[in-house]
């Protein structure tokens, strides 16, 4: 009898630390607490003085199946660099949410646009489900072509909300901007 009890005791001593190590490894690999991010970020909004960022495109978020609200605005800094600013932003929690710019002509807010084969640019993982936040745009990003900001879960392949970006410079007389707008419009007509 003692031999059986001793064998079970040794097995417990060996298996218990192994089980703890395996459970820790699984937790670290999958990080279940990151499925539901709920922290608030407040990055400073740009001010409207000379030499400060200029708003180029803006739109309001909407989404019916996920409560996504706020405004997405593309700003241009004095040095020519651009970034997407989310203001008064909030969305529901979800697994691995990313901020994307997509070619959103004709897209519906609650459809999975990846299934439709739409082109998109991933600006990175959503920093927070609430608050002001900024995402840098590379010089190659054409906000006229990628005219919709989206919050998208790459794990569940669900669209949490979109903001169709309206061109704030369309009324301006800058010839370079007008040429870019005309070229983009003629390309869209050619695609149709």
């879960």: which residue's tokens?
153
pLDDT tens by residue, 130-143: 999 999 999 989 88
What local confidence, expressed as pLDDT, does residue 109 receive? 56
pTM over 0.85: no
The mean pLDDT value for 49-59 works out to 82
The mean pLDDT value for 70-96 works out to 92
What local confidence, expressed as pLDDT, does residue 26 receive? 78
- What are the phi and psi torsion angles at 157 (to 5°)? 50, 50
Percent share of the chain, pLDDT over 90:
30
For residue 133, the tally of other CB atoms under 10 A from its CB is: 19
């Amino acid at each position: 009898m003692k031999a059986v009890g001793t064998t079970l005791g040794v097995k417990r001593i060996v298996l218990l630390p192994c089980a703890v190590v395996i459970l820790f490894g699984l937790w670290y690999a999958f990080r279940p607490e990151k499925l539901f991010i709920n922290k608030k970020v407040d990055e400073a909004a740009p001010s409207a003085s000379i030499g400060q960022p200029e708003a180029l495109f803006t739109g309001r978020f909407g989404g019916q199946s996920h409560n996504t609200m706020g405004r997405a605005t593309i700003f241009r800094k004095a040095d020519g660099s651009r970034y997407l600013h989310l203001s008064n932003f909030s969305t529901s929690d979800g697994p691995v949410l990313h901020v994307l710019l997509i070619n959103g002509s004709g897209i519906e807010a609650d459809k999975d646009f990846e299934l439709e084969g739409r082109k998109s640019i991933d600006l990175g993982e959503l920093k927070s489900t609430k608050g002001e936040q900024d995402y840098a745009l590379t010089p190659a990003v054409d906000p006229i072509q990628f005219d919709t900001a989206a919050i998208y879960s790459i794990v569940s392949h669900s669209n949490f909300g979109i903001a169709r970006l309206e061109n704030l410079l369309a009324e301006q007389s800058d010839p370079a901007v007008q040429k870019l707008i005309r070229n983009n419009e003629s390309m869209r007509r050619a695609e149709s």
